[in-house]
Amino acid sequence: MPKRIVGSWIPLPLTILLLAGVLALSACDGESTSPHGFGTGDQQTAATDPGDASTGSQTSGQSDDGGSAGDDGAVPAGHYAGDFECDGEASYDSFDNVYVREGFDCLLEGKHVDGNVIVENGGALQLVRTEVKGNVQSYGARYLLIGANHVTGSMQIEGTLGAPPGMPNIICDTRVEGDIQLKNNHAPFAINDWCGAGNEVYGNLQVEENGLANGFEGFEYVFVIEKNHVHGDLQFFKNDGAYLPHRIYMNHIGQNLQCKENYPDPLQGGENQVGGAAEDQCNPLASGF
């Protein structure tokens, strides 16, 4: 069974500053995977479950530090073997898989995940400077803040219900070896250079059949997709912004820029460099290489 471990967590306003690139890593913090220098700053301690130490109790197959001993007895330092349930700031350095359950607020900063990071309905994730060897999958998250990561697999985001206070959900400065797919979300997203650089997507960036719930009237756009390097196609289909427009601006797209059946029309933006065809609603937004 997965084990829930509660640690300390960064207050949301501080993490917003991190994602804005305001706080730099201290000199002793080592090299950052991002040129923009994310750091933790002050932390506060979250409550723990009754009978649970702040670093968690151990279960069969784990070493005293959470690692799994091999045949020779060697244990990776700071590794949590098995499925880790993240609520608060994760205290281990690396994990097999990470789950964010309903009502959990998870911070993974400067970590290594051998498998997948999965956000379940009602969970919230702050993913910063983390290496994910599998996929990042989110189904009905309360909010997502994703910046300065490397994802070997794909990123699949569905059914997001909310956003951080006063700001959109964010995906920035993240290298994704597969695709980024957003479908059936109901809150604003900024897929851009919010934390100093846009994203690099080696597959396709697919944004499809998203809507907008009530309560986001103060936002300027539903989707802001700008300053990304997409090696495959950028596809923007059947997105209903209701009372807010969408913006697709200054992306470098290796293949095609495809947009159709989006509301409102026309889409806003421009100056997108497109190696293939710019189709339908996005035709006015493109330029060649």
Q: Render pLDDT for 172-182 as a digit per residue (tens, 0 to 9).
A: 999 999 999 99
What parts of the chain have a pLDDT lower than 70?
1-77, 288-289
| Assigned domain for 28 exists | no
| Assigned domain for 63 exists | no
pLDDT at residue number 46: 25
pLDDT at residue number 52: 33
| Assigned domain for 280 exists | no
Is the bond into 264 cis (omega within 30 degrees of 0)?
A: yes
Q: How far apart are CA 175 and CA 251, in angstroms?
A: 15
Q: How far apart are CA 111 and CA 76, in angstroms?
A: 14
| Assigned domain for 239 exists | no
Q: Nearest 5°: phi and psi at 42?
A: -70, 150
| Assigned domain for 92 exists | yes
Q: How far apart are CA 227 and CA 218, in angstroms?
A: 23
- How many of the other CB atoms lie within 10 Å of CB of 82? 16
Q: How far apart are CA 121 and CA 142, in angstroms?
A: 8
Q: Is 143 helix (H, G, I), strand (E, B) or coil?
A: strand
| Assigned domain for 226 exists | no
Q: Is 210 helix (H, G, I), strand (E, B) or coil?
A: coil
In terms of Cα–Cα distance, which of 243, 246, 198, 206 is closest to 222?
246
| Assigned domain for 208 exists | no
Spatial CB neighbours of 51, under 8 Å, sequence gap ≥ 6: 57
Instruction: List helix spans (H) across the chain.
Output: 12-19
Q: Nearest 5°: phi and psi at 17?
A: -65, -40
pLDDT at residue number 47: 25
Spatial CB neighbours of 35, under 8 Å, sequence gap ≥ 6: 196, 197
Spatial CB neighbours of 72, under 8 Å, sequence gap ≥ 6: none
pLDDT at residue number 15: 54
List C-alpha distances in Å: 124 to 103, 107, 243. Answer: 8, 9, 26
Q: What is the DSSP letter of 263?
A: B
For residue 28 the two structure tokens come to 């002793």
Kindly compute the dihedral angle of the four CA atoms of residues 34, 86, 126, 132, in this order, to the nearest 10 degrees: 40
| Assigned domain for 194 exists | no
- Paired with 139 in beta bridges are 158
Total domains in the fold of the chain = 1
Range of the domain at 136: 1-23+79-163
List C-alpha distances in Å: 167 to 133, 163, 189. Answer: 28, 7, 9
Q: Is 248 helix (H, G, I), strand (E, B) or coil?
A: strand
Span 194-241, pLDDT tens digits: 999 999 999 999 999 999 998 898 899 999 999 999 999 999 999 999
At residue 179, what is the residue type?
Answer: D
Strands 175-176 and 150-151: parallel
- How many of the other CB atoms lie within 10 Å of CB of 221? 19
